[in-house]
Amino acid sequence: MSANLEEVAVFSKQLKEAREALKAERKVLHSLEMKNGQDFDTNITVCGKRFALVTMGANYYPERVKALDVIRLELIKYQQGVIQYHLGAVEGLEFKLAQAARGAAA
């Protein structure tokens, strides 16, 4: 068995895109969890009105908006599910890439 280079190239490209998507979703989660440092763009928009979930506190540290904290916590749970989806996609593509590199039949 020899590696199918076309399949390897396709799976490599898909894996790169999947990893970039996972990285972007993790950045969203870190923003919701206030782990992005001075990132104060964490907000939601309802009927065209923007509501900040994280604001700038003393010494430029992020602080949660207490009135909207229930929404922020639910969004964290939702975002963790989105990340699990992307992790599954990455793991699946890594497996397919390894199979193609080994020359196993897909």
CA–CA separation, 37 vs 54, rounded Å?
11
- The residue ranges of every structural domain in the chain are 5-36+68-102
DSSP string, 8-48: HHHHHHHHHHHHHHHHHHHHHHHHHTT-SSS----EEEETT
Structure tokens at 14: 């898909």
pLDDT > 70? residue 106: no
Kindly report, residue by residue over 39-86, the tens digit of the pLDDT: 778 899 999 999 999 888 888 888 899 999 999 999 999 999 999 999
Query: Tell me, what's the pLDDT at 37?
Result: 77
Pick the residue with more confidence: 96 or 104?
Answer: 96
Share of the chain above pLDDT 70, in %: 96
pLDDT > 80? residue 16: yes
Helix (H, G, I), strand (E, B) or coil at 100: helix
Query: Tell me, what's the pLDDT at 84?
Result: 98
- Per the listing, tokens 């080994």 go with 102
